[in-house]
Structure 1
């Protein structure tokens, strides 16, 4: 069991204790760190988690709320514990962005839910994708968006239908367990794990083992805030490892062979930080234990006083990588980790696996691009049918809101590509279709200020029409609020939604612009040009203008992000 505020000494099955001899409850509240003896809940979130574990709400949903309806849901369940089962209330329709920060939660929310289906490693069978599509059609008004963490999100879900949805998903091995909440979220992984010709090491076993041991386990169901994990043995660095709480990145140790380089403390939102290497090499068989040790540190030493400082990145920043590694080794693993090398620079500037690629078994995988992750149940069912018709039983989602059909025989590839293109799912998309992502936005999200999905779709259409010859890899990430769910700080062009004043002095939807962000071994956050904001209506004109200037001024081989570093503010405005 997990250590709780009432459980000072560790119980059987818990992670190794942090300094058990010195642990005692003190009057000093500090940052609310359990490992320092500070167990008194210091905010409402910590109180409702102490009162009842988030995982326990499922029983009330099935036995009470599904029968009494929305009005009967306890507020601490509605806006708190239900997240542990992938449920958030969605935004009430018709509330403009200017009201987002003004209204109370109960005034913003509708009597419907967003439901998130976790897809660890992005791996899906045809039957699973068919079930996702059927749930969408039956219970979610056709909605089923692909996220940038390999999940699928429904909207318009009624509390009365939740048990039936769980039954249908769980019958094919899917779940919504801990898809949200202060717990370990979905473990993202290389969508081509085990089949890529250039793979360093297959991390699939570790992802499955973490899920088997720890997801839905109360040992880690009360963390200070959410915990994000990435595991990939791809040399393309295809899981945005720099912005996860923990990441295992495939490397080859000169003595021990293939394994993983350990990173901790990444995260974006309003105070972005890139993850740091601990300089430790981890063999595949040790990944689950090391993962549990890092989560244990977060549970015990993570800051619980202020929600905006309750992510692991703040603890890592305060401790530094040397102390963090030492605590991990001394107090949790009880052994030293081997030193190891860092990852190499990816050879391919596109890391999304879009296109047709040969597998290590002679078959092929085919990656394709929906527009800004927007999908629906009918479309997903059609994709599943196409895969099955072409001899495949496996698909995958990516961290770029894309999808892949795996295990396609060479003589079936051309037919599959034609079938996907007929559904407007591009296997050879333009850089704009391929590189544009968008979060949920004001359509459904209670935190959003502006529309994102429709803005992204229209921006793609305009740029394809205006700049048909543009052929450089480019990322355009559109976010509806400052929380960076769409990774605006690490995009070539990052667009943060806010209200701006147009030429007529009217307050309208618009974006603050970040330029030149990147992930990879040259990772960094985008540049903000002073005063650079654009209205939604001006957005296609602005992006066309800055890309045209880049094309005219770039040096040989110079990426857009590199150009923005030396470009003048006038060139970027």
Structure 2
């Protein structure tokens, strides 16, 4: 794992001191709320419906067991005993007192963590593949580039007050587990015809009010030009991005307005004087950061996840969990363990302080002290010996953390919605809980196969409903909470936006509609065909017929 150097630590310690003074002045009345708002947002502190919410950065989704214990401590001491892991690999606390905020940041800084640039019109937390460094299909660990981008973008003077917030995601594998096509900038690592590693640069993706799949700006960018090329993109955006209308301020609107060819022309022109300057990354810079992500010393082991599942000696309940929650590791004899935070009736992404401490303990015992946060609001232990899976499973099961549903229909992604968020139109949490109960039969869930439900409480799409296989958007119609459903979205390497099926309906009807869509899929799919593939093959017409039949 990356460890702070003296510069990193001094930077976050200074920010804590600054914010302590700012909070003191706000509490004394020396600062008005309007004056204080941009200062608190720079430190991830939002004012929500009931209290302040603090968003803590987890760069590229990687945590140590010590850091997880600090997050548990914050949940227990300063919140109501839990935290909420988000689709951007961060954690949020929903019940923060303003007077406690500086102490929380100090506790974070002591363990090399912060809340810097988790809000505001700046480059936000750079996200990545939660299986980075251990995925069997990986070309190169993308966290190395993500860390370089973190260092480049943090407090970048030119990009601290952009037209709008800016999000970057990077993946190092052909299988996109970072949703790079729905980010302002997405980076896909691959090799050119000579075998050299570089990036496909994708720009102008995003969801929210105007969902757009990103477009390829450059098919292959050599690694040494990463910072200079992204700097050129940011300069073009910072110059031309609209500041007169927040709904048209994202880079995706600029790319659409100019067209990808003209946008590319302007970026290339801006890049020309930068490409061989100070931002060109020498090999030794990559080497220095790579050393911080050196793989652990694995033991020589044998076996595979598939062999364990098929072994007649394996407990059937353990085999079901392994099949759903354990992914192949690049090192023989190890597995990537995905921990579901989506038990039946559980709030998606929520973890209690006790559960966080349990995961930290399991990381120390079985995963070399390392944890990851996923875009699906789950956790990962990336370095688990297959021989340790039975003991790990039993302990997780005792802590209500062994639901065997990762990637299945009850592994629902949901934002906090109207229960917490001042922007939301409808509640997401109760609907997610009801759906998880409706599809709690794990035997049937595995028969249904991979199927992603995403629920957003408003058009801002924090739960990425546009790219859910089944997407649900909460809307307000004359004070009534209704839900609009889309089908056919996906966020992987074949990213696509879902299509609306039918009018918005109350929550109980939405549940029945979704259940009907699943029944329709089971009736019309080809053998072994996934839900998303059935929708792509046949379109939404068969599913709309389900609505007409129900009516």
The residue aligned with 1:380 is 356
The residue aligned with 1:62 is 20
Deviation at 1:59, TM superposition (A): 6.2
**Structure 2 residue 40 is the aligned partner of structure 1 residue 82:** yes
What is the DSSP-based 3-state SS (H/G/I as helix, E as strand, rest coil) of the residue aligned with 2:200?
strand
Give distance in 2, aligned partners of 1:82 and 1:160.
12
The residue aligned with 2:177 is 238
Give distance in 2, aligned partners of 1:177 and 1:333.
31
Q: Is the 8 A contact 2:49 2:421 kept in 1?
A: yes
**Structure 2 residue 540 is the aligned partner of structure 1 residue 569:** no
**Structure 2 residue 353 is the aligned partner of structure 1 residue 368:** no
Q: Once structures 1 and 2 are overlaid, which stretch shifts more, 511-520 or 123-132?
A: 511-520
Q: Is the 8 A contact 2:179 2:491 kept in 1?
A: yes
Match of 1:394 among 348, 370, 389: 370
The residue aligned with 1:524 is 496
Deviation at 1:403, TM superposition (A): 0.8
Give distance in 2, aligned partners of 1:169 and 1:466.
38
The residue aligned with 1:419 is 395
Quickly say closer, same or farther: Cα 1:547–1:161, change in 2 above 3 A: same
Give distance in 2, aligned partners of 1:385 and 1:558.
39
Quickly say closer, same or farther: Cα 1:59–1:299, change in 2 above 3 A: farther
**Structure 2 residue 376 is the aligned partner of structure 1 residue 405:** no
Deviation at 1:57, TM superposition (A): 9.2
Q: Once structures 1 and 2 are overlaid, which stretch shifts more, 539-548 or 355-364?
A: 355-364
The residue aligned with 2:268 is 329
Deviation at 1:566, TM superposition (A): 4.2
The residue aligned with 1:534 is 505
Deviation at 1:290, TM superposition (A): 2.4
What is the DSSP-based 3-state SS (H/G/I as helix, E as strand, rest coil) of the residue aligned with 1:216?
coil
Deviation at 1:462, TM superposition (A): 1.1
Match of 1:182 among 111, 114, 121: 121
**Structure 2 residue 228 is the aligned partner of structure 1 residue 228:** no
Quickly say closer, same or farther: Cα 1:356–1:202, change in 2 above 3 A: closer
Deviation at 1:170, TM superposition (A): 0.9
Q: Is the 8 A contact 1:500 1:511 kept in 2?
A: no
What is the DSSP-based 3-state SS (H/G/I as helix, E as strand, rest coil) of the residue aligned with 2:174?
coil
Give distance in 1, aligned partners of 2:452 and 2:369.
31
Quickly say closer, same or farther: Cα 1:367–1:319, change in 2 above 3 A: same
Give distance in 2, aligned partners of 1:353 and 1:322.
43
The residue aligned with 1:34 is none
Q: Is the 8 A contact 1:432 1:460 kept in 2?
A: no
Give distance in 2, aligned partners of 1:441 and 1:81.
25
The residue aligned with 2:467 is 490
Give distance in 2, aligned partners of 1:178 and 1:248.
20
Q: Is the 8 A contact 1:183 1:227 kept in 2?
A: yes
The residue aligned with 1:263 is 202
Quickly say closer, same or farther: Cα 1:360–1:326, change in 2 above 3 A: farther
Quickly say closer, same or farther: Cα 1:537–1:571, change in 2 above 3 A: closer
Give distance in 2, aligned partners of 1:335 and 1:353.
47
CA deviations on 1:238-262 (whole Å, 9 max, x unpaired) are: 1001110001102221124222111
What is the DSSP-based 3-state SS (H/G/I as helix, E as strand, rest coil) of the residue aligned with 1:186?
coil
Q: For 1:457-468, what aligned pairs fall within 5 Å after superposition?
A: 457-465=433-441, 468=444
Q: For 1:30-429, what aligned pairs fall within 5 Å after superposition?
A: 61-66=19-24, 69=27, 73-92=31-50, 112-334=51-273, 354-360=325-331, 362-371=333-342, 372-390=348-366, 392-426=368-402, 428-429=404-405
Task: Count residues with an aligned counterpart.
Answer: 480
Q: Is the 8 A contact 2:229 2:275 kept in 1?
A: no
Deviation at 1:173, TM superposition (A): 1.0
What is the DSSP-based 3-state SS (H/G/I as helix, E as strand, rest coil) of the residue aligned with 2:372?
strand
Give distance in 2, aligned partners of 1:366 and 1:466.
18
Match of 2:423 among 447, 452, 465: 447
Give distance in 1, aligned partners of 2:223 and 2:95.
40
Q: Is the 8 A contact 1:65 1:72 kept in 2?
A: no
What is the DSSP-based 3-state SS (H/G/I as helix, E as strand, rest coil) of the residue aligned with 1:80?
helix
Deviation at 1:377, TM superposition (A): 2.3
What is the DSSP-based 3-state SS (H/G/I as helix, E as strand, rest coil) of the residue aligned with 1:150?
coil
Quickly say closer, same or farther: Cα 1:386–1:467, change in 2 above 3 A: closer
Deviation at 1:460, TM superposition (A): 0.8
Unaligned runs of 5+ in 1: 1-55, 93-111, 338-351, 502-506
Quickly say closer, same or farther: Cα 1:423–1:173, change in 2 above 3 A: same
The residue aligned with 1:480 is 457
The residue aligned with 2:295 is none
Give distance in 2, aligned partners of 1:434 and 1:289.
43
Give distance in 2, aligned partners of 1:430 and 1:289.
38
Give distance in 2, aligned partners of 1:434 and 1:165.
33
Give distance in 1, aligned partners of 2:91 and 2:337.
20
* TM-score of the superposed pair, with normalisation by structure 1: 0.78
Q: Once structures 1 and 2 are overlaid, which stretch shifts more, 161-170 or 60-69?
A: 60-69
Deviation at 1:558, TM superposition (A): 4.1
Give distance in 2, aligned partners of 1:147 and 1:300.
31
* TM-score of the superposed pair, with normalisation by structure 2: 0.81
The residue aligned with 1:37 is none
Give distance in 2, aligned partners of 1:300 and 1:205.
29
Unaligned runs of 5+ in 2: 1-13, 277-322, 343-347
Quickly say closer, same or farther: Cα 1:213–1:500, change in 2 above 3 A: closer
Deviation at 1:527, TM superposition (A): 1.4
